[in-house]
Amino acid sequence: MPDLIAIGEPLVEFAAESAGRLGDVDRFRAGWGGDTANFVLAAARLGGACGYVTRVGQDSFGAAFVAMLETHGVDASRVKTDAEHHTGLYFVTYSEEREHRFDYVRRGSAASHLSGADIDLDYVAGARVLHVSGISQAISGSSADAIRLAMEIARKAGTTVSYDANVRPVLGERETLRRNFEAAVALADIVFVSEDDAAHLYGDTSLETVLDRIVGERPRLAVAKLGADGCLIRSEAEERCRVPAWRVDAVDATGAGDAFSAGFVLSLLRDAELAEAGRYANAVGALTASGVGAIAPQPSHAEVTALMDEQSPGLR
Ligand code: KDG
């Protein structure tokens, strides 16, 4: 049984190799993305025992995705192949100012047909951590139901529930995304948000207040991912901890937040203190942002500790 499982949608990724709009760029690097897939692969690369739950199409993409999971040691026994629907994909382009844009081909995808029937209760209950996200909820009503079921099972079984808001405005109305977020917060133990997530859901409300409100509900931890500014952790013990970022040359932030969350959760599983988990997660996110694509640049545990030792000897 894996320690850590995630549920959601994997995507074939085409990441632009130069700045420009879709249509102007002529070279794309093919890879993999999908926020929960990014999470689970990052955790596996860092040494975690992981499993993934999803539906892929009965197409070359689906078969290649399963093979890729297996190559990385991720349990794919709960990945179903759907003969009727395709595996989703997306293009990543960016402007000269490094503003990223995602264009998806995912409507009606195999993963958007996830439902409660795809959730193996014992698999969820047997894991130490379940990780899901706002994207997993937003891709369809049946997927949102499946996520809710999995979170409820995890909660009853004492499996830690990790939830990343990952708000994608293109996937739904603000009200629906906020409802999904609040439903998940009521069932989660650890909640991750970015500044953009918080701003889209709660407008001008300060990030500190958003974190306080989250911890005022059920979660014992709320973590704001601040990219080049590191992270801010709020615990139920009313402790606030700001952890600065490591210095790297960032090239492409796609998936860096998902890898951050994986590093944070894995670090806690390894009994790290909060600040230590924040430092480790910042290093995982920073190294992921140093290469093109969501999954290809994800670091190993040794690469993460090497960065930490190089920039702050003796302090992990
Ligand atoms: O966090 C990165 C993800 O957003 C990216 O890999 C694609 O899952 C994706 C999505 O739905 O945006």
Query: Is residue 104 within 8 Å of residue 170, measured between CB atoms?
Result: yes
Burial of residue 54 (CB within 10 Å: 0-12, 13-18, 19+) is: buried
In which residue are the tokens 């999995």 written?
150
- Using the mean position of ligand 1's atoms as its centre, give its distance from the Cα of residue 14 in Å: 12
Nearest to 109, CA basis, from 84, 144, 128, 127: 84
* Burial class, 27, CB count within 10 angstroms (exposed 0-12 / middle 13-18 / buried 19+): exposed
Ligand 1 near 35 CB (within 6 A)? yes
Q: Does the C-beta of 8 come closer than 6 Å to ligand 1?
A: no
Say if ligand 1 is within 6 A of residue 102 CB: yes
| pLDDT per residue as tens digits for the range 220-272 | 999 999 999 999 999 988 789 999 999 999 989 999 999 999 999 999 999 99
pLDDT tens digits, one per residue of 42-94: 999 999 999 999 999 999 999 999 999 999 999 999 999 999 999 999 999 99
User: Whose Cα sits closest to atom 3 in ligand 1?
Assistant: 35
Taking residues 291-305, what's their average pLDDT?
96
Indicate if ligand 1 lies below 6 Å from the C-beta of 197: no
pLDDT tens-digit series, residues 94-143: 999 888 899 999 999 999 999 999 999 999 999 999 999 999 999 999 99
Name which of 313, 15, 315, 33 is nearest 168 in CA terms. 33
CB-ligand 1 contact for 28 (6 Å cutoff): no
Is the C-beta atom of 34 inside 6 A of ligand 1? yes
DSSP designation for 169: G
Per DSSP, which regions of 240-284 are E strands?
240-243
Locate tokens 């629906």: which residue?
Answer: 176
Q: Are the beta carbons of 7 and 146 closer than 8 angstroms? A: yes
- How high is the pLDDT of residue 306? 97
Q: Given a cut of 80, is residue 314 above it in pLDDT?
A: no
Model pLDDT for residues 183-217, shown as the tens digit of each residue: 999 999 999 999 999 999 999 999 999 999 999 99
Counting ligand 1 atoms within 8 A of each CB, the residue from 38, 39, 89 with the most, and so the one to mutate, is 38
- SS3 state of residue 211: helix
> How far is residue 157 from each of residues 150, 257, 299, measured CA to CA in Å?
10, 27, 31
Taking only Cα atoms into account, the Rg of the chain, rounded to an integer number of angstroms, comes to 18
Ligand 1 site, residue 278, Cβ cutoff 6 A: no
pTM of the model: 0.97
